Structure 1
Amino acid sequence: MAGAAAGLALTVSLTGCRMDEGKGDAAGTDKPAKGVHLTAAQEALGKASDSTADLKSFRATLSTSSVVSGRQTDLKGDLAFRLKPDPAMKLDVPAIKTPGKTTDGFHEVFTDDTVYLKVPALAKQAGKPWVSFTTAELSKATGVDVKGLESQGRQADPALNAKMLTASKDVHKVGTETLGGVSTTHYQGTFALSDALSKLGAQQREEAQKIFNQTGLDKLNFNLWIDGKQLPRKITLATPPGAKLKLDTAMNYLDFNKPVSIKAPAKSQVADGMKLKGAGSNTPG
């Protein structure tokens, strides 16, 4: 998944370990310290974080453009994600574009702690349309604890993103805009990754920091559109000018808390990804 890894997986998706309520490390708090005055825009971000805390599912469209070592990669995808009661995800990316070339994209399904990938190159090698990897296998192959990351799609979790954006110290209101027929308020700002990671639990923060140390990223610009129910309708993230890695990504949220049907492919259509040559080097994360 080189195209996807060059984009979102280098940033937010690798911090996407969402905590199970009441288990594991204690996550960072969004509550301001006593005596700290929040601006109206900062309060709006706090409300957006609160409003997404108990989401059960969401659908979104994703787009990302990244430049790594002078090579640009663009992709767009459709995502359906069930957060509760048991995480499951379906991501469809029709194509991956690089300068002068468009290659086949991929389909990814996560359910029951297993990632299923439908990628032409892997299918040719495996002899079946899909290959599978358990999260335990991915953790061992990549050296990163992917338990809870699930997939490339985890980066779009509105609860995760809204929580990280509360780290901004310069967020401000831009104005009001209509997105997909929904009236929204547009906010803009920046945040330091070290501050954003402080919003996560200790284990998730440690794993994410390993990735960020490799990318050299330390700051991101963002835009956020919030509707009348304090739910995020769109989020864009971008590296500032001069950053070692160039990244522009957008997440458009289509709906929340509507039932999503996500099933694993038929066993007859799935090969064991760990038996393929170079297993782990082309997997998500």
Structure 2
Amino acid sequence: MAGAAAGLALTVSLTGCRTDGGGSDASDSGKPGSGKSSVHLTAAQEALGKAADKTADLKSFRATLSTSSVVSGRQTDLKGDLAFRLKPDPAMKLDVPAINTSGKTTDGFQEVFTGDTIYLKIPALAKRAGKPWVSFTTAEVSKATGVDVKGLQSQGRQADPALNAKMLTASKDVRKVGTETVGGVSTTHYQGTFALSDALSKLGTEQREEAQKIFNQAGLDKLNFSLWIDGRQLPRKITLTTPPGAKLKLDTAMNYVDFNKPVSIKAPAKSQVVDGLKLKGAGSNVPG
């Protein structure tokens, strides 16, 4: 997508699958009437649990994404607009107008995911292809990146805010820091840290294994976070940052602007698309 660093940053904030509801986890342990004699939760931990529960049945959402990552002294920054339909069938649309790498601004990209195909609109590829869009199947992306993209996408929950909220319930030190307005909405701000080993335990087996590969490659074992929750217990903003000394320096933010509003996502017209495998070297531009 935007290079390995940006691709990883997107993966950290977007990739994954929420677990099925009804499991035995922090979001329902210790609740009145739950029948569970588990560790007492703080008010902040209970708030995170409620947010995870509230997002479990979302059908669609829109968000803005901002990511800054540094690897070996090379910094990559990007901002984009994301639309995602979770149900009845998953589909995603991401628009990143520009990418800044070590002070140099280059053209961004557009990405559409629907069915089992990812479509990319990248100027450099378009010039070679002779058409605006290049397509890759999820199987091709999985082969190029080593990540089971089909396994993740088939669950229909990549980029799901419920994933983020669920993983944050692994925090043992989350605390309320105040109230703030985010996007014109009144929210409560929480901060904390979580160990990735604890957060990954919130995921299903296959998704946990794939995410573990990604985090291991980056040398990540812990993340700092901030979470802003509105009066409906929905996350309005989530930020993730790496601690000092991490192999990868990451600062990413998701601002959620709409929930459960209609999202229209369609594949580009066939006449505007070239099969990515027919372009020599196109695999290096596969997202991830």
TM-score by length of 1: 0.92
Q: Give 1:150 shift.
A: 4.4
User: Does the CA contact (< 8 Å) of 1:107 and 1:117 recur in 2?
Assistant: yes
Match of residue 259 from structure 1: 262
User: Could you tell me whether the CA contact under 8 Å between 1:185 and 1:225 is conserved in 2?
Assistant: yes
1:165-244 equivalent positions in 2, closer than 5 A: 165-244=168-247
Query: What residue number does 2:9 align with?
Result: 8
**Shift of residue 264 of structure 1?**
0.5
Could you list the runs of 4 or more consecutive aligned residues of structure 1 that deviate by over 2 angstroms after TM superposition? Answer: 2-7, 9-14, 26-35, 140-143, 148-151, 278-281
CA distance in 1: counterparts of 2:184 and 2:238, whole angstroms: 17
RMSD of aligned Cα (Å): 2.1
- CA 230–220 in structure 1, closer or farther in 2 if over 3 Å, else same: same
Match 1:35 to one of 35, 38, 46: 38
Partners of 2:79 and 2:96 within 8 A in 1: yes
Contact 2:58–2:86 (CA<8 Å) still a contact in 1?
A: yes
Cross-structure match for 2:147: 144
Instruction: Give the whole-Å Cα distance in 2 for the aligned partners of 1:3 and 1:284.
Output: 8
The aligned residue for residue 32 of structure 2 is: none
Name the stretch that deviates more: 218-227 or 142-151.
Answer: 142-151
8 Å CA contact 1:131–1:272 kept in 2: the answer is yes
Identify the residue that residue 82 of structure 2 maps to in structure 1: 79
Q: Distance in 2 between matches of 1:236 and 1:247?
A: 10
1:132 maps onto 2:135 in alignment: yes
Residue 107 (1) aligns with residue 110 (2): yes
- How many residues were matched structurally? 278
Cα distance in 1 for residues equivalent to 2:4 and 2:186 = 31
* Shift, 1:35, TM fit: 2.7
* CA distance in 2 between partners of 1:105 and 1:181 (Å): 28
Per mean C-alpha deviation after superposition, the further-off stretch among 223-232 and 274-283 is: 274-283
Aligned-partner Cα distance in 2 for 1:275–1:218:
38
Structure 1's unaligned 5+ residue stretches are none
Identity of matched residues, %: 85
Q: Which amino acid counterpart does residue 163 of structure 1 have in structure 2?
A: K
The answer to whether the 8 Å contact 1:142/1:280 transfers is no
Tell me the SS of whatever aligns to 2:149. coil
Change (3 A) 1:89 1:148: farther
Shift of 1:141: 2.5
Aligned counterparts of 1:273 and 1:123: Cα–Cα separation in 2: 11
